[in-house]
Chains A and B, each alone.
Chain A
Amino acid sequence: MLKNYLKTAWRNLWKGRVFNAMNIIGLSVAVACCIMLFLTVYYEFSYDKYHTNIDKIYQFYFTKNGAEKVEKATSMPAPLTPAVKAEYQDIKYITRMGNGGTVVRYGNTQVEKSIHFVDPDFLKMFTFPVVKGNNTAPLKELNDLVITEYAATAIFGKTDPIGKSIELNYSGEPKAFVVSAVVKDFPGNSSIGFDILLRYENTPEYQEHMKHWDWHDHTVFVQLNDNVKPAGFESRLQNFVKKTFKSTIADMKRDGAKPDAQGNVYTLNLTAFAKNHFNTDMDGLEGNTVNKSYVISLLIIGAFILIIACINFVNLSVARAFTRAREVGVRKTLGAGTWQLLTQFWVETVLVCLFALVMGIVIANFALPGFKATFRSQVSMDMLLQPVQLVVIIGLFILITVVAGLYPALLMMRYKTVLVLKGTVNTTKPGKVRNVLLVTQFALSTLLIVCTLITWQQIDFIKKKPLGYSKDEVVSIPIGKTVSGARALELFRNQLNGQPGVVSVTGAFDNMGNGKDGSMRTSVTGFTYKGHNISTNVQGVSYDYVKTLGIQMVDGRDFSPEFASDSSAIVINEKMAAQLGGKNVVGTYLPIDENKPSLIIGVMKNFHFRSLRTEIEPLTLVMSGYDINYVFVKVRPQNLSQTFAMIESKWHQTFPNADFAGSWINENTERQYRAEQRLSTIFISGAIIAIIISCIGLLAISFMIMVQRTKEIGIRKVLGANIAGLVMLLSRDFLKLVLLAAVIAFPVAWWLMSQWLQSFVYRIEIQWWIFALAAFIAVAIAFITISFQSIKAALANPVRSLRSE
């Protein structure tokens, strides 16, 4: 029986090979897209799930209900952890976590590795199983060191690292540690990433930090006891907060803080580590967090494409149902039961889908490297073989074959056998279902077109928006760990001094945009001034910062080596000046450091030192107290690439052991919008694929319609219709549907995109012409597609089409 089904199915498919090829192409492209998109989505959702205790782990954060805004901060003071642990029974495990980088020396090997400073509970909370060495208490001693397999191989090669002593330099002076355990490498979908674990007590100036409740510089993770509810624990914590942070709370109240529902202005809260990867609500979390809506939009685009391809499938099958109706009738007279017929059609559908699935996997396999590069996705094809994915694939497969295969089959089944065999089944009726499906397809496509246009417009807007400083002729070079910042800057400044093409050289604590080193630093400080709490971003700089970055001064002057006192002076931006009371702030002293007030020597015009997602915040430039991590070089606009090469070679000449990761600042600022660019690339690819697949369906359907209307066309031609009129006549019905689809898509697109634009402080207005353009694109593409068939039909000789009747 099955053999017979397969045989007939194959012959039927072969007979309609043009249609089926279209079907399969559309479906397999859709399958390939879905595989890649859904795997990416799965990957993002699988983040950190390898921790067995993930549901019980929380991260602490403070909520400050300020007068103007609510601030959430994850950084904690060092004495908090021991104090909380001693006071509360709810806590099973608790660990501080400070991140850093270090130079590791072992024998002749010298490498840079990343460190996490943690408390011993860390390894009990998080699932980093020990594969070698002490697996009961790997961080018992202060000089114990835990290392990942990966880092162990990099440092020790094939020798057994356990018990070996290595020298780390992370604070300026080398310290020796003993490797006590090697832990298994963590998977790529891990928020927490490190090479080396050290006891938290090894952080620089630990003892000093333990004395200060207002030095917030690390994160804290806690695992609650099994029966403890986080909300209950949070409310119990409030006693501790009120007791410990009395002065902070008093200051906040003085500045007009707005209490929350429980009447608290300053609270210590818990955020679930399980939701860490999608938590874009606050800064200072482990790993790169991802906006959930971004992941969801991938899922939706994938679903759209799949739906569009399935609609094609249904429409093509329905279109062919007319030719198959006679076969169904004959089979019925030969004694076929309904189920036997349904099975036969289902087998055909399964064959097509199976073929499309295999082809889709092949296409995905070829497209994956490009996809991974474009969308920074970590997926691989063997992820498909995991049980969850297999079940989903098989489930989706069966669902699609049933929906797409059975509907047309049932439709054919409904035809009256007697009428079919007489050949008088009315096949020209327009088919409401078909129209609904076509409208759905084009609505989804138009939606994607609108999204593409708006994303593209917004990105263009951001790229072209003036930032208030010069980004085109400035090279930014991360200094790295191997050389010390301030000294490196001096050395390099001297090297470049007098070089043709170089205008000026400076250094700073934080980069502009996202550099090639991928690091981001934020330093915010607060102090009381004239009875108000003032908060400002702080940027440590060297001489010529203002000049090098082309920032305009509104008042006063830049730092100058001619004034010795400038080392303790500050330069502020307009926003900061406004916060201080506005006019004539130059010359006043600010108590940033209570013991040593700083003189304001200049006010800069506001510039966008962060991405355009946020408003410009108060900024203070200081000369001391901050490391120099980046060198900036302003060059003349001529021979940019040549100058860049010169800078690179000078760098290598000056620091033979250091990497050169320099880049133009305009590259750095563009890098800030990578997520948006990826999103727009996804929208564009999604829209193009959706449109192509929709057009395949439209092409096939129009072909069917033309065949059915051949006689009508012939008669009209005989009666004197011209070609253009006929083409319009034949296209009109379809174009109406496409327009209707566009109109349906517009409100949805408008709503979606205005939501998305909300995430930008600086954003475009959605223009009406975007919608008009999208509709025009959709209609034009549809018209061209239909024209292939309609022109052919209109040009056909009427004698032939009429003779056949």
Chain B
Amino acid sequence: MLSLQHISKYYQTGGNKTFVLNDLSLDIDQGEFVSIMGPSGSGKSTLLNIIGMLDEPTDGYHYFMDEPVHQLKEKQRSALYKQYIGFVFQAYHLIDELTVYENIETPLIYQNIKGAERKALVADMLDRFNIVGKKDLFPAQLSGGQQQLVGIARALIGKPKLLLADEPTGNLNSKQGEDIMELFKKINKEDGVTIIQVTHSEKNAEYGSRIINLLDGRIESTTTL
């Protein structure tokens, strides 16, 4: 589903190029659960952002769902993104002014889905994540774990094929973290959603089917579990 070929990302500083990603190639198939690991500054987040089309590589070819992303215009890219990708953040990034319900509903609004249908979809999602009782609360009224749960629900509401998670458990305690990882595993297995997560934790990485270790913008090693 996803293919990165010879991807580089660098910044020009003076006469030198500072590479964040250096000629990196990577293929990910439908249904995989990939964990990206590596020390700080190894380019994990940049890689994830490029995959998520939040960032653009300086060089290289990027194919997603058989579309050449590197050739697409902003609008087409955004359409592709809207349809297939969901994002989960370390800092949850829920919209403070919106309730749990409305946060989950927002992506559907941007996909121009009708009100009645939205209602049904959000209700299903709330039900599935057992947060029906919290639907009218604002993010500030929830614990970190609960907020991340809402973040995941929001990422999944558009039925994405690919879920990107940037250290989803980074701000959570270990119990909450475990719950989230279990949830990921379940989503991956039951819904067939491809997941790519960036993590610092060996333990969390092992929930995935493949671990990619980055160092200085290159893939150092790949472990298939």
Contact = CB atoms under 8 A, between A and B. Distances in A.
A125 B105 CA distance: 69
B106 interface: yes
Given A8-B97, A326-B93, A334 B106 contact: yes
Given A327-B95, A421-B89, A7 B102 contact: yes
A646 B25 CA distance: 108
A417 B89 CA distance: 13
B91 A423 contact: yes
Contacts of B154: 334
A330 B95 contact: yes
Contacts of A330: 93-95
A1 interface: yes
Interface residues of B, number: 26
A15 interface: yes
A337 B97 contact: no
B49 interface: yes
Given A335-B78, A418-B49, A340 B110 contact: yes
Contact of A418 (B54, B106, B109, B111): B54
A333 interface: yes
Interface string A761-791: 0000000000000000000000000000000
Interface in B91-107: 91, 93-98, 102, 105-107
A326 B110 CA distance: 17
Given A15-B97, A421-B93, 5 more contacts: A8-B98, A8-B102, A334-B106, A340-B110, A418-B55
Nearest to B111: A335
A67 interface: no
A330 B87 CA distance: 9
27 contacts: A4-B106, A4-B109, A7-B102, A8-B102, A11-B97, A12-B97, A15-B96, A326-B93, A327-B95, A327-B96, A330-B93, A330-B95, A331-B110, A333-B52, A333-B54, A334-B106, A334-B110, A334-B154, A335-B78, A335-B81, A337-B75, A417-B54, A418-B54, A418-B55, A421-B89, A421-B91, A421-B93
A678 to B, nearest CB: 48
B82 interface: yes
A336 interface: yes
Between B82, B97, B106, the greatest number of chain A beta carbons within 10 A of the residue's beta carbon is seen for: B97
B158 interface: yes
Contact of A331 (B49, B89, B96, B106): B106
B153 to A, nearest CB: 12
A335 B158 contact: yes
A330 B96 CA distance: 11
Contacts of B109: 1, 4
Contacts of A332: 54
A547 to B, nearest CB: 82
Contacts of A334: 87, 106-107, 110, 154
Contacts of B106: 4, 331, 334
Nearest to A5: B109
Query: For chain A, what secondary structure do more than half of its interface residues adopt (helix, strand, loop), or is it mixed?
Result: helix
Interface string A304-341: 00000000000000000000001101111111110010
Contacts of A335: 78, 81-82, 107, 110-111, 158
Contacts of A329: 93
A464 B98 CA distance: 66
Interface in A413-434: 417-418, 421, 423
Contacts of B54: 332-333, 417-418, 421
A11 B93 contact: no
A421 B89 CA distance: 9
Interface size classification for chain A: 20 to 34
Given A331-B95, A421-B89, A423-B91, A337 B102 contact: no
Nearest to A326: B93
Which has the most chain B C-beta neighbours within 10 Å: A330, A332, A421?
A: A330
Nearest to B110: A335
A11 B98 contact: yes
Interface string A490-501: 000000000000
A12 B95 CA distance: 10
A157 B90 CA distance: 86
A11 B55 CA distance: 31
A417 B48 CA distance: 13
B41 to A, nearest CB: 13
Contacts of B49: 418
A15 B81 CA distance: 31
B110 A336 contact: yes
A11 B136 CA distance: 14
Contacts of A1: 109
Interface string A118-154: 0000000000000000000000000000000000000
A335 B77 CA distance: 10
Contacts of B98: 8, 11
Contacts of B107: 334-335
Interface string A1-41: 10010011001100100000000000000000000000000
A337 B75 CA distance: 8
Contacts of B81: 335
Contacts of B97: 8, 11-12, 15, 327
Contacts of B75: 337
A336 B93 CA distance: 15
Interface in B45-76: 49, 52, 54-55, 75
B187 to A, nearest CB: 18
Nearest to A329: B93
A351 to B, nearest CB: 14
Contacts of B110: 331, 334-337, 340
Interface in A324-381: 326-327, 329-337, 340
Contacts of B87: 333-334
A280 to B, nearest CB: 57
A451 B58 CA distance: 58
A331, A333, A336, A423 interface centre (most CB from chain B within 10 Å): A333
Interface centre among A7, A334, A417 (most CB of B within 10 A): A334
Contacts of B111: 335
Contacts of B95: 8, 327, 330-331
A335 B53 CA distance: 11
B54 to A, nearest CB: 5
B122 to A, nearest CB: 13
Contacts of A326: 93
A334 to B, nearest CB: 5
Contacts of A12: 97
A418 B93 CA distance: 12
Contacts of B102: 4, 7-8
B164 to A, nearest CB: 9
Contacts of A333: 52, 54, 87, 93
B210 to A, nearest CB: 24
A418 B51 CA distance: 13
**Cβ-closest 4 pairs across A and B:** A335-B82, A11-B97, A335-B110, A334-B107
Contacts of A8: 95, 97-98, 102
A423 B91 CA distance: 10
Interface string A77-111: 00000000000000000000000000000000000
Nearest to A417: B54
A326 B96 CA distance: 10
A333 B111 CA distance: 12
A337 B78 contact: yes
Contacts of B158: 335
A12 B93 CA distance: 16
Nearest to B105: A4
B154 to A, nearest CB: 7
A418 to B, nearest CB: 5
Contacts of A423: 91
Contacts of A417: 54
A423 B90 CA distance: 12
Contacts of A337: 75, 78, 110
A335 B154 CA distance: 12
Interface in B20-54: 49, 52, 54
